[in-house]
Structure 1
Amino acid sequence: MASVGLLFVGAVLFINGVMLLGWIDARSAAPMNFFVGGLQIITPLYLIFTADGDADVVLAASGLFLFSFTYLYVAVNLTWDLDGTGLGYFCLFVAITALVFSVLNFTRFADPAFGVIWLHWAFLWSLFFVLLGRRRDGIGRYTGAVCAIQGWVTAWIPALLLLTGVYAEIGVPLAIGLAIFGVVVYAALVPWARRQRSAPPTPAPAGEHVPA
């Protein structure tokens, strides 16, 4: 069940990323955040209620609430056009907690691939803290690109591997690949984002609105 939720985490990360890139209007991203935020509340509650006292299952399921509350917070902010600083500081809390879950996956759960994936997510939530909590609008496109890419790399692909039963066979190679990918791609996005910031805006055709 958690794998199904992860699949749709990929969708909402992609949608939020392209929103930050200015490809879609901000409010049009709100429904997907509501949908996946709700799903990510139902999923961990089911896992906890059916855990039969298994502490590891409860611990792993508790991390899913970090996603549900983030997406619901985003959805509420987008729908009612609220100030984003509160969400930004919540993302700081989540980023720190994600580092703990990364360590737990490397040690207690013996799952190095998700240990690396949690590091990816900690980095993304840190970017949202800087963007929203510290109001550093200059990293908006960079954050959007990282978010959109993570939707595929840290959620969609692992979810499909889990759902098809392939994940257990390639855990260590996947961890190494994800670590290398993160370092190379996120570093390469820095000069790209700087060029995007310095490039003159493309004029919109008459009658069309380009989201900020």
Structure 2
Amino acid sequence: MIHPFLFLDWLADLVNLHVGEHVLYAWLAMALLIVLAFAAGRNLKMVPQGLQNLMEVVVGAILDLMDQIMGPKGRGYLPLIATLALFILTCNLLGLVPSCFPATANVNTNLAMAATVVVLSHIVGFKEHGLHYLKHFVGPVWWLAPIMIPIEVIGHIARLVSLTLRLFGNMFGKEVVLMIFLTLVPFLLPVPMMLLGLLIAFIQTFVFTLLAMIYLAGALEEQH
């Protein structure tokens, strides 16, 4: 634990609930998103206003990016991509709130999301192409298969590791640096670090989401 006081840990101790802090704050992020979705969708209008307008802009931006990266077939995976993007962003932003901890600063949260993306990319590949999806692993000519298959397997494992550790490293590092500055100089100086943390929250959300799209787009693509 980096923060000296985490209010959800304190509440969990009161009710004798023994779960990790990353689990508690992942639940908090999910609860916030559920409330946000309910508030935005409870009174839908043809001409959106307020929160509905904001959410339509956010989802529309994600959908436009998906069209560019994944093509028309990718639209069916909007629920997954949008959920990942909003969940990661919410977790990242919670790290800027006093007494809150970003669930993405724990490797277990990120590993679960990365495994979902990588495993789903292979499921999508087999769903779209059947056994022809295996051509992605054997290379352009059959006699290169003994060399290409180990390389491709290592490459797909590297996807899992890189998705996990990139987000974890950036968010955990931000937490450490921010706590050091708050401890040494509690006034004024941490403000630029908070702004930097805000920038990191959005950038890391974008990077993870973009890579998830690229991996799914690769599975949708026909191998020649």
TM-score by length of 2: 0.30
Q: Which has the larger radius of gyration?
A: 2
TM-score by length of 1: 0.31
